[in-house]
């Protein structure tokens, strides 16, 4: 496949030798995250059947320029589809074009096709018949959002904007969408139309009749597998039967299977340039590097590496990796956001099934660690001797484990970490939990003589330093006990090792996430066992859920991250022993290199 950039949009062209090309118009917002893997699979299937296929991110979404709060989004999305058709024609020379749209993408595809005067074929997969229906549904879903304890989260939207799944639909965009209705099309958007419906939608028969009255040939079929497709990315299933139906319907003739290729396309924005890259020798692992136009400070300064969250692709939950990368570029910081094998736009590992049996072990595995190491090596080869790893949930687990062994990791941002060891199983995690619960229970009752009697009868061993201070206050005892953990394999031991290795670390937890309770079981109330560890910073984001879906809370996190990266609090007090050479040259100060002296 070949990366392309056009009119501020980033996309992928899947080449083929046929004369009938396809543009895929994906859904918006959270649904786009859920369906990314399946959408890529459909593109590959269509290309294998002989159809050059272009999938892309609308303006302000995914890896494209802009954001979802800019004005005139509907106009930009429709223009993006038309630009994609032009690029497909120019790039491949196809004589016929099919638009395939899913959910809001289907609605947008029909509207864009009508504006263009029609395309050859149009596939509408579970379309919203009107923009008003979509807006009403999104508004209802946003009101159903609840926090961990079942109570509504704090509402921090501005005005009448809708926030759902970490994405924003502004009041202006809602108004523009509400004015659109597919029943009001005045000319046929295509000569041939395929409709896949779900749930017995009552408005499909009249819509089909309206299209036929405009001169289109219409085929209507049930959308088998729709519910499985629209689940969260971690559980989303590829609707094989539906996609096979689409491919067969689009296919005009059999053509040779496409040859994989890749181009060095780049997206140029005001303060940065973004370039898609493969960071392994076999061109299997994909990422996008964001580089500031003007490098700030020493060219050897570290880069920031963004890891996958679960099976969400490299844009991150709520598109957070994209927005953070572009924000950091304004500070002169290079970053790389990547997909591990089998996730997003990276090819599966050799022998890996399309749907791994155990998703949790798939995203948190030694194989994933090895792939992330290749990204670190790619950055190092380009002058970044250190990098700061940013991970949410499973990404935090991978980052933590690598930082314990790879000296090139000069900093960590761990967001709502749930699992501490990639080699541990669920059973081992439960043993972790039981051990730390017992320790906390002991510490909290250490002033009671009966507690010591029970502990001694149970054969619990204590260090001499603890035994000498049997009458010490509970807090001192707790600190001594935690200090003996450094050589163990418990979560507190891992954090001690990070501190000892002088890896500046910011542990971020959300107030309304279940991980907060788990972290307190490991590290004490309010993470007290971590508060005095050098180089370890603990932050809580009030009102936040697991993936920081509210935009105001993502802004709060972005500020925390900037502060962590830029201030002296985040910098190690001295270089680690292995960096002695750098210390002598003065090129490294904590996380970031000092800018060269003027003159």
CB contact burial 405-423 (16+ within 10 A = b; e otherwise): ebebbbbbbbbbbbbbbbe
**Same domain, residue pair 323 and 240:** no
Instruction: Say how far apart CA 110 and CA 188 lie, in whole Å.
Output: 9
**Which structural domain, as residue segments, surrounds residue 439?**
427-483
Give the per-residue pLDDT at 324. 95
Q: Are residues 435 and 419 in the same domain?
A: no
User: Which of 420, 405, 423, 309 is CA-nearest to residue 365?
Assistant: 423
**How far from the centroid of its chain's Cα atoms is residue 191's Cα?**
38
User: What per-residue confidence (pLDDT) applies to 473?
Assistant: 38
Residue 142 belongs to a domain: no
For position 595, what pLDDT does the model report? 36
Residues 350 and 448 in one domain: no
Q: Where are the alpha helices (DSSP H) in 469-579?
A: 474-483, 491-500, 514-523, 551-566
Q: What is the pLDDT of residue 202?
A: 72
Q: 397 with 515, same domain?
A: yes
Residue pLDDT, tens place only, 533-561: 999 999 999 989 899 988 899 999 999 99
Q: How does residue 141 score in pLDDT terms, banded at 50, 70 and 90?
A: confident
Half-sphere exposure of 515 (CA within 13 A, CB side): 22
Q: What total number of domains does the chain contain?
A: 3
Q: Which of 450, 465, 483 is the last residue of a domain?
A: 483
Domain shared by 277 and 222, yes or no:
no
Whether pTM exceeds 0.85: no
- The tens digit of pLDDT for each residue in 43-102 reads 999 999 999 999 999 999 999 999 999 999 999 999 999 999 999 999 999 999 999 999
Q: Could you tell me if 242 and 280 lie in one domain?
A: no
Residues 446 and 518 in one domain: no
The Cα 553–Cα 544 span in angstroms is 6
Q: What is the pLDDT of residues 459-499, one digit of tens each?
A: 444 443 344 334 333 434 444 444 445 566 788 989 999 99
Last residue of a domain, which of 223, 250, 277?
Answer: 250
Please indicate, yes or no, whether residues 509 and 578 belong to a single structural domain of this protein. yes
Between helices 491-500 and 394-403, what is the axis angle to 10°?
A: 50
**DSSP assignment letter at 170:** -
Task: Identify the domain boundary among 215, 250, 285.
Answer: 250
Whether 342 contacts 246, CB under 8 Å: no
Are 524 and 566 in the same domain?
yes
Q: Return the percentage of the chain with pLDDT > 70, whole number.
A: 76
Q: CATH number for the domain including 86?
A: 3.40.50.1820
9, 16, 22: which is closest to 102 by C-alpha? 22
Looking at the predicted structure, is the pLDDT value of residue 524 above 50?
yes
252 band by pLDDT with thresholds 50, 70 and 90: low
501 and 393 within one domain: yes
478 and 501 assigned to the same domain: no
Q: What is the pLDDT of residues 422-469, one digit of tens each?
A: 765 333 333 333 333 333 343 334 444 444 444 444 444 444 334 433
């Amino acid at each position: 496949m070949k990366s392309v950039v056009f009119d501020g949009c980033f996309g992928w062209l899947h080449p083929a030798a046929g004369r009938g090309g396809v543009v895929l118009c994906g859904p918006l917002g959270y649904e786009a995250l859920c369906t990314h893997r399946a959408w890529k699979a459909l593109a590959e299937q269509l290309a294998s059947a002989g159809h050059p296929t272009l999938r892309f991110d609308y303006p302000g979404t995914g890896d494209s320029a802009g954001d979802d709060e800019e004005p005139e989004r509907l106009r930009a999305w429709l223009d993006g589809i038309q630009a994609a058709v032009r690029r497909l024609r120019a790039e491949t020379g196809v004589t016929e074009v099919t638009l395939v749209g899913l959910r809001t993408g289907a609605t947008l595809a029909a509207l864009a096709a009508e504006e263009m005067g029609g395309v050859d074929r149009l596939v509408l997969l579970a379309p919203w018949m009107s923009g008003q229906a979509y807006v009403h549904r999104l508004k209802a879903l946003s009101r159903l959002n609840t926090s961990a304890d079942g109570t509504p989260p704090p509402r921090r939207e501005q005005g009448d904007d809708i926030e759902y799944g970490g994405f924003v639909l502004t009041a202006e965009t809602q108004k523009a969408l509400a004015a659109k209705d597919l029943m009001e099309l005045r000319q046929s958007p295509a000569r041939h139309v395929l409709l896949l419906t779900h749930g017995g939608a009552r408005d499909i028969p009249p819509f089909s009749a309206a299209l036929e009255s405009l001169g289109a040939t219409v085929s209507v079929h049930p959308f088998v597998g729709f519910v499985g497709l629209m689940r969260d990315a971690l559980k989303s299933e590829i609707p094989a039967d539906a996609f096979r139906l689409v491919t067969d319907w689009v296919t005009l003739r059999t053509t040779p299977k496409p040859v994989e290729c890749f181009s060095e396309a780049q997206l140029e924005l005001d303060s940065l340039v973004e370039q898609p890259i493969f960071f392994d020798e076999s061109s299997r692992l994909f990422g996008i590097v964001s580089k500031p136009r003007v490098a700030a400070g020493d060219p050897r300064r570290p880069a920031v590496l963004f890891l996958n969250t679960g099976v969400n692709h490299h844009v991150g939950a709520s598109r957070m990796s994209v927005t953070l990368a572009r924000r950091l570029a304004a500070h002169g910081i290079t970053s790389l956001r990547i997909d591990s094998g089998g996730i997003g736009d990276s090819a599966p590992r050799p022998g890996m099934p399309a749907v791994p049996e155990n998703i949790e072990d798939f995203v948190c595995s030694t194989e994933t660690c090895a792939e992330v190491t290749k990204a670190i090596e790619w950055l190092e080869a380009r002058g970044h001797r250190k990098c700061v790893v940013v991970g949410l949930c499973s990404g935090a687990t991978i980052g933590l484990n690598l930082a314990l062994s790879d000296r090139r990791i000069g900093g960590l941002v761990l967001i709502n970490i749930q699992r501490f060891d990639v080699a541990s199983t669920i059973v081992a995690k439960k043993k972790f939990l039981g051990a730390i619960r017992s320790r906390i229970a002991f510490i909290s009752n250490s002033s009671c003589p009966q507690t010591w009697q029970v502990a001694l009868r149970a054969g619990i061993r204590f260090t001499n330093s603890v035994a000498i201070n049997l009458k010490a206050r509970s807090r001192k005892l707790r600190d001594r006990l935690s200090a003996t953990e450094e050589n163990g394999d418990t979560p507190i031991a891992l954090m001690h090792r990070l501190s000892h290795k002088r890896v500046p670390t910011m542990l971020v937890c959300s107030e309304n996430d279940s991980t907060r309770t788990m972290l307190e079981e490991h590290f004490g109330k309010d993470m007290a066992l971590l508060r005095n560890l050098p180089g370890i910073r603990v932050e809580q984001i009030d009102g936040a859920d697991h993936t920081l879906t509210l935009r105001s809370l993502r802004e709060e996190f972005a500020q925390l991250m900037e502060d962590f990266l830029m201030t002296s609090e985040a910098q190690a007090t001295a270089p680690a022993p292995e960096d002695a050479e750098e210390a002598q040259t003065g090129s490294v100060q904590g996380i970031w290199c000092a800018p060269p002296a003027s003159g």
